[in-house]
Amino acid sequence: MNVIKTKIPEVLILEPKVFGDERGFFMESWNQEVFSQAVGREVNFVQDNHSRSTKGVLRGMHYQIQQPQGKLVRCVVGEVFDVAVDLRKSSSTFGMWAGCHLSAENKRQFWVPEGFAHGFLVLSESADFLYKASEYYAPQHERCVRWDDSEIEIEWPLQGLPLLSPKDAAAPPFASAPVFENL
């Protein structure tokens, strides 16, 4: 596996070794030992999720203020632009974002550690998005921050306005969003 560092040291892009020929391909999509070495610690995943979205849908920027989730994400059909925003107040990268294109073609995975908001924009006609979570979903602790916050300045590859859920459309700005004090 090729590990690609982003401008935020804890956020990683993981590229699997893909073996392909005219019949198709084979790749190892998950290996606990290899992943633990890549992130520098053991992470136990407790939940897998699968979403399907249409072109122009933007989901995010979501996080859980208690029971924070680390997420290992990938796109198995279509293409998305995936983003992580550091919400750890004591971090030197607090308020910074890192992003990458994930697609069925490039087979990349994106590691979004605990303490980060996460979101993605669908670039293809539709996209199937999978993620492993290190903590169970806890709706009572779910929070979000505005996808277009002027302090964070995420460079979304948008054509027009995205399609948002009511919750995401009403998300607070970064300046008033709850953040992680002790991560």
User: Active-site residues: which are they?
Assistant: 62, 131
Residues 6+ positions from 139 with CB-CB distance below 8 Å: none
Ranges assigned E (strand) in 55-96: 58-64, 71-77, 79-86
**Which amino acid makes up residue 170?**
A
What are 115's two structure tokens?
């303490």
Q: In one letter, which amino acid is 100? A: C
The span from the CA of 136 to the CA of 25, in Å, is: 32
